[in-house]
Amino acid sequence: MKTFTLEQIAQVCGGMLSKAKDVAITRIAPPLLADESTLALALGEDEIANLSKTKAQAALVPLGVNIEGFTTIEVERPRLAMMKLITMFYEAPHVNSGVHTTAVVHPTAKLGENVALGPNVVIGEHAEIGDNTKILANCYIGNGAKIGNNCFFHPAVNIGDRVKVGNDVILHHGVSLGADGFSFVTENPNNIEQAKKDGEIKENDVNQVIFKIPSIGSVVIGNNVEIGANTAIDRGTIEDTIVGDNTKIDDLVMIGHNCRIGKGCMIVSQVGIAGSCVIGDRVVIAGQAGLADHLNIGDDSIIAAQAGVSKSFPAKSIVIGSPAMPRKEFIKQMKLMKDAGDLITKFKKYEPLLKTFLEEHEGE
């Protein structure tokens, strides 16, 4: 069990310690779940109020919160301090040392120093694994793939042929990098092409052979990227699909072929990005947003949850709604709809008077 003094915690968090009692801290928890050896995390108003009911004797609180007779560590950025605390108490998943006896490593593959491969890991022909990289059970690394230093792959990660992954990358359970892109063509224009060109579908019930377009590009993942469970990033058709340095991607995200995702982006769960989109640096895409193909989203933009993005937006845009539009325009439209509702309510109120008036003056 990890145990820390209050002085050690305050130093790591960069906080100001007001000590009423000397407590050895063995865990962290919200105030109502804390015991005597717990540091209570009172980061917001509700948690601060709950300190009156806690069994904890010490708490992490925002700067300026001081409770008489209670040990506190005041911090300027509570969430940042919480991250540092969790890192102190974090227990990494167990990783066997070296190469497990059931792992299959092709003779032409190259393993760096201090590489760990778990049970049933498969390393393909001419693949390269960097120093200190840990690959847990049932992962597959394709032929010619290159994995950087200090990476950590959770179980059941699948890396396709020729995929490149940078240094310090974390891939969670079931990540797929380098599957073929969803790219097809018919011999004659199909209904999708007609709809895009003419705005209507002119022919029905025409069966055509759908030809698969092979994907000969790859996927390139930058440094310090983290990708959540069951996220899929497809390889490019000809050019590579790219994810920039320091980008963080949540669970269940789909990124299509030929996309280029910038540096420092945050992409939240269940986002779908169709092929050939270009996403700038530091873009935030909230949960369940969907982007049509061949769009450009400028640097430092924010796409709100469930937005349906069908056109490109410049840098520093905040877009919302479906179809997505700038936030100010969305608010304006919502206000117009409310005003229209108010007008309808007023009309219904006076509608009987109007009906009576028309009846009385009928025929004039």
Contacts for 26 with CB less than 8 Å, ≥ 6 apart? 1, 2, 3, 37, 38
Question: What six digits make up the tokens of 45?
Answer: 């108003």
Q: If you search the block for the tokens 């708490």, which residue do you land on?
A: 59
Q: If you search the block for the tokens 């097809």, which residue do you land on?
A: 184
Closest CA to 56 of 85, 79, 33, 88: 33
Contacts for 282 with CB less than 8 Å, ≥ 6 apart? 262, 263, 264, 265, 299, 300
Closest CA to 292 of 280, 276, 274, 306: 274
Question: What six digits make up the tokens of 237?
Answer: 């058709």
Give catalytic residue positions: 257
Distances (CA, A) of 222 to 139, 169, 283: 20, 8, 16
